[in-house]
Amino acid sequence: MKMSTYEILCCPVCKGELELKVVEKTVLENGEEDVIEGTLHCEKCGVDYPVSEGIPNLLPQE
């Protein structure tokens, strides 16, 4: 997940901002950071959305 993608993401439930916690990342040829593993946390909902193999999973969680 590119940082430019992260910047346009919001919580699917409350549409609030997501806080990114990076576990593993790489840097693309253009210098942009690409998150491989991490979590997107919504403070308001208290939910963590996983980023796995570069793909953010923003499905609402029960």
Q: Which residues bind Zn ion (CB under 5 A)?
A: 11, 13-14, 16, 42, 44-45
Least CB distance to Zn ion at residue 11 (A): 3
Nearer to Zn ion, 11 or 35 (CB): 11
Least CB distance to Zn ion at residue 21 (A): 15
Q: In this structure, are residues 25 and 38 in contact, taking their beta carbons and an 8 Å threshold?
A: yes
Least CB distance to Zn ion at residue 10 (A): 8
Phi, psi at 47, each rounded to 5°: -120, 140
Phi, psi at 27, each rounded to 5°: -120, 125
Alpha helices in 1-62 (DSSP H): 3-6
Nearer to Zn ion, 20 or 42 (CB): 42
